[in-house]
């Protein structure tokens, strides 16, 4: 049995006995759906200016520049399909009594894969929100320049948490509570560079919880993990659901 297969077997066993599981995902889980990550090769923050596109100041300066970018991202999310990693997490939720999926992603692919108890720490692109009165409208297509101005004097902005802004307090409270009661925490496809999301894997877990990182690359969170699976999410997550007699083809070492 390879080292990776032995680690998979250990995590499988802990998942089977777990009463409570918490999962933290980042953009890496959607990369096999064809969506770019933020900091990888061709990552969004390598080719775009964060302060122009993802800050309240950037939006105040040029709302249509910001909307053009988010309209394009939203369209790309809609063209993408959930992958085997998203579907595996939806299946894991059906098997565990207390399951919470905390995501930093705004692409809605976990919802589309059938996950139900999803906390979207950084918001979503399903709605726009008025920056003055907080009224929300659904985003069924691109938001046009004419639709940006709201009657109250405010402007509709993407319902996303931008740099310099706080996370929705209730969402973060629920996420920390889920991390604190979990027997197993899966940390999937995130560089662990953005706080407070990353603190779910470092500050809140119980000392006897098993933290599992699923990421082909090392991250600052790797040293906090009891098990590191150096594999892609769409391969490793379905593998965690297989029983020993399952038909899953053994993973290749990366
Ligand atoms: P990053 O781009 O920082 O990290 C993506 C991680 O996914 C990296 O560690 C990759 O090694 C890993 N990865 C790539 N392909 C993978 C695969 N197939 N399976 C598993 N892992 C894979 O993206 P995030 O950690 O999501 O915030 O970034 C966090 C936040 O920073 C985002 O939510 C966004 C960004 O600024 C906001 O916009 C508020």
The per-residue pLDDT for range 109-146, each reduced to its tens digit, is: 999 999 999 999 999 999 999 999 999 999 999 999 99
* Separation between Cα atoms, residue 246 and residue 231, nearest integer Å: 19
Claim to verify: residue 93 and residue 141 sit in the same structural domain: no
Active site residues: 122
Domain stops at, among 141, 160, 179: 160
Q: What is the CATH number of the domain that holds 50?
A: 3.30.1600.10
| Cα 87–chain centre separation | 14
Claim to verify: residue 131 and residue 154 sit in the same structural domain: yes
Residue bearing the CA closest to ligand 1, atom 11: 217
Ligand 1 centroid to Cα of residue 161, in Å, is 16
- In this predicted structure, what is the pLDDT of residue 188? 98
Domain of residue 49: give its range.
36-79+124-160
Ligand 1 centroid to Cα of residue 104, in Å, is 9
Question: Taking 80 as the threshold, does the pLDDT of residue 101 lie above it?
Answer: yes
User: Coil, helix or strand for 158?
Assistant: strand
Nearest-atom number in ligand 1 for the CA of 85 is 19
Q: What's the number of domains the chain is made of?
A: 2
Claim to verify: residue 240 and residue 129 sit in the same structural domain: no
Claim to verify: residue 224 and residue 145 sit in the same structural domain: no
Where do we find the tokens 């999962």? 23
Ligand 1 centroid to Cα of residue 124, in Å, is 16
Q: What is the CA radius of gyration of the chain?
A: 19
Q: Which residues line ligand 1 (CB under 6 A)?
A: 26-28, 31-32, 37-40, 43, 54, 104, 122, 161, 189-191, 193-194, 214-217, 219, 232-233
Claim to verify: residue 26 and residue 46 sit in the same structural domain: no
Q: What is the CATH number of the domain that holds 25?
A: 3.40.50.1220
Nearest-atom number in ligand 1 for the CA of 50 is 36
Claim to verify: residue 90 and residue 10 sit in the same structural domain: yes
Claim to verify: residue 201 and residue 128 sit in the same structural domain: no
Claim to verify: residue 174 and residue 115 sit in the same structural domain: yes
Claim to verify: residue 248 and residue 128 sit in the same structural domain: no
Where do we find the tokens 């496809």? 189
In the structure, what pLDDT confidence band is assigned to residue 147 with cuts at 50, 70 and 90? very high
- In this predicted structure, what is the pLDDT of residue 100? 98
Three-state SS string across 208-235, please? CCEEEEECCCCCCCHHHCCEEECCCHHH
Ligand 1 centroid to Cα of residue 193, in Å, is 9
Claim to verify: residue 107 and residue 136 sit in the same structural domain: no
Claim to verify: residue 227 and residue 185 sit in the same structural domain: yes
Region 155-175: what's the mean pLDDT?
95
Claim to verify: residue 144 and residue 26 sit in the same structural domain: no
- 6's tokens: 């032995």
Which residues does 187 contact at the CB level (< 8 Å), separation at least 6?
23, 24, 201, 211, 212, 213, 214, 215, 221, 225
């Amino acid at each position: 049995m390879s080292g990776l297969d032995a680690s998979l077997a250990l995590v499988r066993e802990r998942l089977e006995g777990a009463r409570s599981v918490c999962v933290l995902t980042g953009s890496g889980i959607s990369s096999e759906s064809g969506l770019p990550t933020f900091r990888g090769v061709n990552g969004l923050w390598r080719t775009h200016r964060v302060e122009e596109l993802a800050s309240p100041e950037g939006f105040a300066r040029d709302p249509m520049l910001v909307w053009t970018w988010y309209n394009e991202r939203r369209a790309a999310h809609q063209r993408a399909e959930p992958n085997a990693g998203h579907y595996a997490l939806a299946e894991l939720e059906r098997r565990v009594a207390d399951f919470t999926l905390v995501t930093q992603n705004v692409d809605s692919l976990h919802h589309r894969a059938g996950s139900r108890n999803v906390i979207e720490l950084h918001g979503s692109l399903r709605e726009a929100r008025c920056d003055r009165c907080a009224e929300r409208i659904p985003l069924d297509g691109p938001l046009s320049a004419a639709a940006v101005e709201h009657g109250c004097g405010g402007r509709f902005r993407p319902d996303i948490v931008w740099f310099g802004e706080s996370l929705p307090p209730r969402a973060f409270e629920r996420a920390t509570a889920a991390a604190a009661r979990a027997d197993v925490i899966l940390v999937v496809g995130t560089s662990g560079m953005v706080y407070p999301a990353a603190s779910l894997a470092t500050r809140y877990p119980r000392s006897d919880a098993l933290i599992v990182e699923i990421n082909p690359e090392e991250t600052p969170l790797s040293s906090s993990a009891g098990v590191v699976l150096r594999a892609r999410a769409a391969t490793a997550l379905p593998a965690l659901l297989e029983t020993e007699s399952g038909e899953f083809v053994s993973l290749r070492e990366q």
